[in-house]
Chains A and B, each alone.
Chain A
C-alpha cells in the first residue's frame, strides 16, 4: 500500500489502534455553540483525547470586500472523515480551499485567522506549494490532465514533486487498485484520461492525489458530477481511505454526509452553526437551523 516508501506508515498503524480504542462516544469538537445538553458536554471532555490533524481558528475568508467565511473555528480529527454540509453559497468550498491555500489563487481572494496543520500555522509564512503536497485535493469536476495518458495522470503529482519512482508501473497499479479502477483500465493505461467515464475520471483524480501520499485529502463535492452508481463507488472508496488518511469532504447531499462521515459540520451563511459526531447530529441536532436544514425545510 505504501507508494512512495515513507517511513510514517508504521506509526500510522499504531495510531490507528490507539484511536479506535479511545473512540467510544466521543466528539472532538470542543466549543460547540451549546451548553445545555449534558450529553454533548461529556462528548467535549472525551474529545480532548482525539488528535486534531488540522484546525482552523477564527478563520475568515474574503473575495474582494465580501466576507464569505466569518470566523470559523473547527478542529479536523486525524484519520476521520469530516463532512461539511450547508446550503449553496454558505462558504463550505471556500473553507476547504483555505485548508490547502487554494483560496488565494483566485484573484482578489484573501483570508485572516489561523489554519493549523499538525499544530503549525500554515495560512501564511510558508510556501503554499509545500502545503498542497501534504494536503491533497479532489475537485468538484473530474479534472484529469487532458493531454496525458491514464498512467501519466497517476504519476503527474509525483513528477511535479520531483520524485522519480523506482518502479512506476507497480506504483500506477497500486494507486489504481486503491481506487478500484485497475481492472477497468489495466489494458489501456496509455489511453487519454478523457476516454474514461465521469466516475472513472474522478477515481483517476483520486488515484492521482493518493499517489503523492498526502496526509490530508480535501474533497470538494467529489460526486456532484457523477451518477448514483459512480457516486456509490466513490463513497465506498472514501470508507476505505479513512483508515489511512484524514479526509474532509464538502457535500450538499445530506445522505452522503450521513453515509461517509464520522463528523459533520453545518455551515450557514459563512458561519459554523453546529458540529459534532455525524450520527448525533443527524439524529439529535442541537440547533434549530441544523434541524431545519437536515430535515429539508430549506437549502
Chain B
C-alpha cells in the first residue's frame, strides 16, 4: 500500500493588513491603565486596612507586645487581654469543619459531575448552591433549636461512649461548644466546597476521561486516574475557599460555640472564636485599651487568614509541581 506522499498544492493567500494601527493603540493604552487602576485598588484597600487596624490596636500592641498572642487571660475588668483562646477557637473550629466537610463535599461533587443521571444533576446542583445562599443567622437559629440539642442528647453521648478514651471526647455534654460550632461550620462550607469542586471536575477535558475509558477503566478508575489528578490543584483551591469562609464566619458560630475564652482539649467544651469575640464585645468595650485589644484580635484574624491562605497556596504550587514532574 505504499504510495508516494502527495501533498496538494495550497494556494498562498496574502493576509490583508488593513486594520489601522494608531487607533487600536490608544484604546489599548487606556484599557491597560484602567484595568491596572482597578487592580491597584485591591492592593491599596488591603494595605489601608492593615494600616488602619495596626493604628487602632496600637495601644494594645504597646501594652502587651508579643504577650498578647500567647496569653490566655481575657479579663476586661482588670484590663488583662490575651488572644490565645480566640486564636485556638478559630483555628480548631475551622479545621474541624474542614475535616467533616471535605470528604462529604468531594463526594457530592463527584456524584454531581460524574455519576448523577442528567435529570438529577441540575436540580441537585442548584439545591447545593442554594444552601450556600442561606444567611448564616438562619444556620445559627437552626443550630440553637435543632443541632445543639441533638448534639447534646445523641451525638456527644455516643462519641463519649465509643471514643471516650480520647481526650477530645471527654467531659460533660453541653450541646454548645467547639464540636457543635465545627459541625455548623462544616454544614455551611460544604455547599461552597462542593459547588466549586463540581465545577473543577466538570472542566476536566473529556479527552482524559476517554483516554482512561478507552483503556478499559471502570467509572471509578476513570475518576481516580484521569479526573481527580487533573483537577487536584482546583480541588485544593475549593478547600481554601471553604477554609476562608470557616475562618471568617461569625454569626452562626457565635450562636453555637458557647463563647467562653478557654482552651480545653475536649471538643464538647465551650470555646470562643476571634470573629465572635469582636462581634459580641465591641459594643460594650468602652475603655480605650479594651477597644484596642479587640482591634488587635481583628488584626490577628486578618493575619491568620492570610497565613493559612499562603500555606494553602504553597500547597497548590507543590501539588502542581508534582503533577508536572512526577516519577
Contact = CB atoms under 8 A, between A and B. Distances in A.
B225 A105 contact: no
Interface residues of A, number: 47
Given A132-B214, A147-B326, A149-B327, 7 more contacts: A129-B216, A129-B217, A144-B211, A149-B326, A192-B325, A258-B3, A296-B8
A122 interface: no
A136 B118 contact: no
Interface stretch (B92-100, B104-112, B226-234, B256-264): B226-234
Given A147-B323, A259-B2, A160 B225 contact: yes
A232 B211 contact: no
A228 interface: yes
A157 B215 contact: yes
Q: Which 6 A-B pairs have the closest CB atoms?
A: A133-B216, A147-B229, A137-B214, A157-B215, A143-B207, A147-B323
Contacts of B209: 105
Contacts of A194: 324
A130 B217 CA distance: 9
B52 interface: no
Contacts of A296: 8
Contacts of B215: 132-133, 136, 156-157, 160-161, 208-209, 212
Contacts of A259: 1-3, 5
A100 B6 CA distance: 32
A105 B213 contact: yes
Interface in A254-271: 255, 258-262
B75 interface: no
B118 A132 contact: no
Contacts of B324: 192, 194
A279 interface: yes
A102 interface: yes
Contact of B214 (A102, A108, A258): A102
Contacts of B128: none
A232 B215 CA distance: 25
A160 B325 contact: no
A141 interface: yes
A146 interface: yes
Contact of A145 (B1, B6, B225): B225
Contact of B210 (A81, A105, A261): A105
A107 interface: yes
Interface in A231-272: 232, 239, 255, 258-262
Interface of A: 81, 100, 102, 105, 107-108, 129-130, 132-133, 136-137, 139, 141, 143-149, 151-152, 156-157, 160-161, 190-192, 194, 205, 208-209, 212, 228, 232, 239, 255, 258-262, 278-279, 296
Contacts of B232: 147
A145 B229 contact: yes
In the complex, which range does the number of interface residues on chain B fall in? 20 to 34
A160 B205 CA distance: 20
A207 to B, nearest CB: 12
A296 B9 CA distance: 13
Contact of B1 (A100, A105, A261): A261
A143 B323 contact: no
Nearest to B204: A146
B218 interface: yes
A228 B327 contact: no
A160 B222 CA distance: 9
Given A132-B215, A205-B211, A228 B323 contact: no
19 contacts: A102-B210, A102-B214, A107-B118, A139-B207, A139-B214, A145-B208, A145-B225, A145-B226, A146-B229, A148-B229, A149-B327, A152-B326, A157-B216, A160-B215, A161-B216, A190-B326, A192-B325, A208-B211, A258-B3
B1 A262 contact: yes
B17 interface: no
B269 to A, nearest CB: 43
B86 to A, nearest CB: 40
Nearest to A157: B215
B5 A232 contact: yes
Contacts of B230: 145-147
A269 B119 CA distance: 31
Contacts of B211: 139, 143-145, 205, 208
Q: Which of B211, B215, B217, B225 has the most CB of A within 10 A?
A: B215
B153 interface: no
A35 B26 CA distance: 71
